[in-house]
Chain A
Amino acid sequence: MKDFFNYFSEIFKGVASLFRGMRVTGYYFFHPGQIVTQQYPENRKTLVMLDRFKGEVIMPHNENNEHKCTGCGICELNCPNGSIEIISKQILTDEGKKKRIIDQHIYHLDMCTFCSLCVKTCPSDALAWGQEFEHAVYDRSKLTKVLNQAGSQLMKGVE
């Protein structure tokens, strides 16, 4: 007798749990407002990426066209696949001392694996992640970028 009741209670429990699942999908079906899919090319204007999104390595410059890169080359050493090249140059400071500063911070986006080691290890926080992700180009050479802007200088106080 117990088995007999178990048999039917199993059926009813099973059907009830199936209905619970069907209620969820049925609710979604009749509520298209819940759709979370973003329509990418149409929403390009309003598209906001997440802060942690890694689009490309950038070197932030302030309004005086100053960056924080000292040209130490730690990012170049840490890059696992050689995406970064540092070209430095020697200048004479006002005090008559020789000093090594950055000439060109070359970044090969086509080789980058977005591992973030350069951004993490930079001692002066000169590098950051940009939000730009539309990197499709017709020529590979366009993916080689110089991160420090022309005529930019080292920010005062960063050594």
Chain B
Amino acid sequence: MAFNIYDFTSFTQSIDQGLNSVMPAFWAMITEMVIIGVAILAFYALVGLFLVYAERKVCAFMQNRVGPNRVGPYGIIQTIADLIKLLMKELVEIKKADKLLFTIAPFIVIIASFMAIAAIPFAKGLHAIDFNIGVLYVVAVSSLGVVGILIAGWSSNNKYSLIGAMRSGAQIVSYELSVGLSLITACILVGSLQLSTIVESQADGWLIFKGHIPAVIAFLIYLVASTAETNRGPFDLAEAESELTAGFHVEYSGIKFAFFFLAEYMNMFIVASIGATIFWGGWMPLHIGGWGSFNMVMDYIPPFVWYIGKTAVIIWIMMWFKWTFPRLRIDQLLTLEWKYLLPINLFNILLMAFIVLMGWHF
């Protein structure tokens, strides 16, 4: 079996052919689905654990602290210890809660982020589903998580949870628009909604450079709006600890709470990887038109490393936001979206369309 860290296409195809040669097509597809599911599950758990650790370390450094440093070297096993603790905690039954919805809610949240991760291109050929409407699919699926948050808030039968969930609903409905529109700005330049095509089109320069002014504006709006969409600080009104104790997940304990916690970090990862894929070229190495030898050197770095590196940078910027800015009030939050981001975004789309029409991009 050929294994190439620069192009996974032959690798995945050989698996596909191998499975099809030993079993009927239907069962081969089922087996592939299971393999991909298990792979994504493992990736999900690993990335989630690492992100929780990274967040704690980054926030500690930004606040002049040391952060976790007792469990293992530099505290790297800290999150595993936390996970074991959460697994062993009692799942508290809320007497007056809506039992069915209360149990379902964390699964809806985590399934929504799971569905989004399937459409992300990790490297050339390392891509679970390549829809021709990938961007639309990702935007649609990533907003499903709010249903889980609303259900969690409602079924807990607790006023803090309900207020938190309602805030989260208002927030996601508003910021969804900005995320979608800023991604559309990028799609106008590429002319496709398929994520693999978007990545391929950035072989001669990332979109943020090709689209210059409108692309940079779209990227900045995407950063702000996607931070809001993942319910992270400074937009974490849904779980504002000082006002709502913990917001929508106040009644959850043990592994159900861990699901919400993990989903929050994975949503951040997904949002960052979509930002990296669409604006920074995903797994595409940094290419500058005409610099042949420079491009060659960049090509030696495996695409998976490029992808992870770009995603990590965007995640770091989002953490930087969270640990610098104070939380917005709900009216400030809505003012920011409806009075500033949305009009600028709409104008930006127009600008981008005009630039594409005139051919003023690179």
Binding site for B on A (CB under 8 A): 11, 18, 21-22, 24-26, 28-29, 32, 34-37, 39
Q: Chain B residues near A32 (CB, 8 Å)?
A: 61
Q: Chain A residues near B61 (CB, 8 Å)?
A: 28-29, 32, 35
State how many angstroms separate the Cβ of A92 from the closest Cβ of chain B.
61
Are A26 and B65 closer than 8 Å at their CB atoms? Answer: no
Contacts A25-B320, A26-B320 given: A18-B325 contact, CB under 8 Å?
yes
Are B64 and A39 closer than 8 Å at their CB atoms? Answer: no
Query: Could you say which of B63, B64, B65, B320 contacts A22, with CB atoms under 8 Å apart?
Result: B320
Are A28 and B320 closer than 8 Å at their CB atoms? Answer: no
Are B66 and A28 closer than 8 Å at their CB atoms? Answer: no
Best-surrounded residue of A11, A35, A36 (most CB of chain B within 10 A): A35
Q: Chain A residues near B340 (CB, 8 Å)?
A: 11
Are B66 and A39 closer than 8 Å at their CB atoms? Answer: yes
User: B62 an interface residue at 8 Å Cβ cutoff?
Assistant: yes
Contacts A11-B340, A29-B58 given: A36-B324 contact, CB under 8 Å?
no
Contacts A11-B340, A21-B325, A22-B324 given: A29-B65 contact, CB under 8 Å?
no
Q: Mark B319-349, 1 if CB is under 8 A from A, else 0.
A: 0110111000000000000001000000000
Contacts A11-B340, A22-B320 given: A36-B325 contact, CB under 8 Å?
no
Are A35 and B325 closer than 8 Å at their CB atoms? Answer: no
Best-surrounded residue of A28, A34, A39 (most CB of chain B within 10 A): A28
Are B64 and A28 closer than 8 Å at their CB atoms? Answer: yes
Are A36 and B320 closer than 8 Å at their CB atoms? Answer: no
Q: Chain B residues near A18 (CB, 8 Å)?
A: 324-325
Q: List 12 A-B contacts (CB under 8 A).
A: A11-B340, A18-B324, A21-B324, A25-B63, A25-B323, A28-B63, A29-B61, A32-B61, A35-B65, A35-B66, A37-B66, A39-B66
Query: Could you say which of B64, B320, B325 contacts A34, with CB atoms under 8 Å apart?
Result: B64
Binding site for A on B (CB under 8 A): 58, 61-66, 69, 320-321, 323-325, 340
5 closest cross-chain pairs (CB), A and B: A25-B62, A25-B324, A37-B66, A29-B61, A21-B324
Q: Chain A residues near B65 (CB, 8 Å)?
A: 35, 37
Are A28 and B324 closer than 8 Å at their CB atoms? Answer: no
A contact patch SS? helix
Q: Chain B residues near A22 (CB, 8 Å)?
A: 320-321, 324
State how many angstroms separate the Cβ of B334 from the closest Cβ of chain A.
16
Q: Chain B residues near A35 (CB, 8 Å)?
A: 61, 64-66
In the complex, A25→B317 CA distance in Å?
Answer: 11
State how many angstroms separate the Cβ of B56 from the closest Cβ of chain A.
13
In the complex, A18→B227 CA distance in Å?
Answer: 15
Closest to B321 in A: A22
In the complex, A140→B62 CA distance in Å?
Answer: 42
Q: Chain B residues near A26 (CB, 8 Å)?
A: 62, 320
In the complex, A24→B320 CA distance in Å?
Answer: 11
In the complex, A98→B63 CA distance in Å?
Answer: 65
Best-surrounded residue of B66, B69, B324 (most CB of chain A within 10 A): B324
Q: Chain B residues near A28 (CB, 8 Å)?
A: 61-64
State how many angstroms separate the Cβ of B316 from the closest Cβ of chain A.
9
Closest to B343 in A: A7
In the complex, A32→B60 CA distance in Å?
Answer: 10
In the complex, A122→B257 CA distance in Å?
Answer: 55
Q: Chain B residues near A39 (CB, 8 Å)?
A: 66, 69
Are A29 and B325 closer than 8 Å at their CB atoms? Answer: no
State how many angstroms separate the Cβ of B299 from the closest Cβ of chain A.
30
Closest to A26 in B: B320
In the complex, A34→B61 CA distance in Å?
Answer: 9
Q: Chain A residues near B62 (CB, 8 Å)?
A: 25-26, 28-29
State how many angstroms separate the Cβ of A49 from the closest Cβ of chain B.
20
Best-surrounded residue of A11, A25, A32, A34 (most CB of chain B within 10 A): A25
New A-B pairs, 15, CB < 8 Å, besides A21-B325, A34-B64, A35-B65: A22-B321, A24-B324, A25-B62, A25-B320, A28-B61, A28-B62, A28-B63, A28-B64, A29-B58, A29-B61, A29-B62, A35-B61, A37-B65, A37-B66, A39-B69
